[in-house]
Homo-oligomer: A and B are copies of this chain.
Amino acid sequence: MKVVVGSPGTVGGLLLRTGQCLFAASSIAFMVSASGFSSYTAFCYLVASMGLQTLWSLGLGCLDSYALRMKRNLHNPVLVSLFVVGDWVTATLSLAAACSSAGVTLLFSKDVGFCSLYPLLSCRKYEISIALAFITWLLIAVSSLFMFWLLASV
């Protein structure tokens, strides 16, 4: 198996995982601090999806730092297949969560104007949380592309 930048057990891989963790955790923090987020299914789904993403990226980040410290090679086809499936599932769920929340926020701010009608609705926080979720998705998409490329080039 070739060594690809950003693949498991490399510094690039560890940086990508750390970024995913930080952005997903910040997205959750902004969403749960927004008043009334729990009344909307899309926002609850965003929190759940970003929670899963944080756990997955944290786990793989720990594995990367272990492999870097112990100079272990993680480029085993079975292990990489597992990472590919996990990455694709979490990437799809993150994009789905970010998009469904974005659809609802756009409805509130533009289509029905709830954001200006009800100042108690924390539209700004919803928007920041969704932007962070999109950045998380971008980072996990990069990870999963590297991982799939690595698996396909065996």
Question: What residues of chain A have their CB less than 8 Å away from a CB belonging to chain B?
Answer: 39-42, 92, 95-97, 99-104, 106-107, 110-111, 148-149, 152-153
The interface centre, meaning the residue of A96, A103, A111, A148 with most chain B CB atoms within 10 A of its CB, is A103
- How far is A103 from B41 in the complex, measured between Cα atoms in Å? 8
A109 to chain B, nearest CB (A): 10
Name the contact of A41 in the complex, choosing from B97, B106, B153 (C-beta under 8 A): B106
Interface of A is mostly: helix
Docked complex Cα distance between A110 and B39 (Å): 10
Please report the C-alpha to C-alpha distance between residue A57 and residue B53 in the assembled complex, in whole angstroms.
32
Contacts of A152 in B (CB 8 A): 148-149, 152-153
Q: Is the CB of A103 within 8 A of B149?
A: no
A92 contacts which chain B residues (CB < 8 A)? 95
With A41-B111, A148-B148, A152-B153 as contacts: A99 and B106 at CB distance below 8 Å: no
How far in angstroms is the closest Cβ of chain B from A147? 11
Pick the contact of A111: B40, B110, B111 (CB < 8 A).
B40
Residue among A101, A148, A149, A152 with max Cβ neighbours from chain B (10 Å): A152
Closest Cβ–Cβ distance, residue A92 to chain B (whole Å): 7
* Given A40-B111, A111-B41, A152-B152, CB of A95 within 8 Å of CB of B104: no
Closest 9 CB pairs of A and B: A100-B103, A152-B152, A99-B99, A42-B103, A103-B103, A96-B99, A99-B100, A103-B104, A41-B106
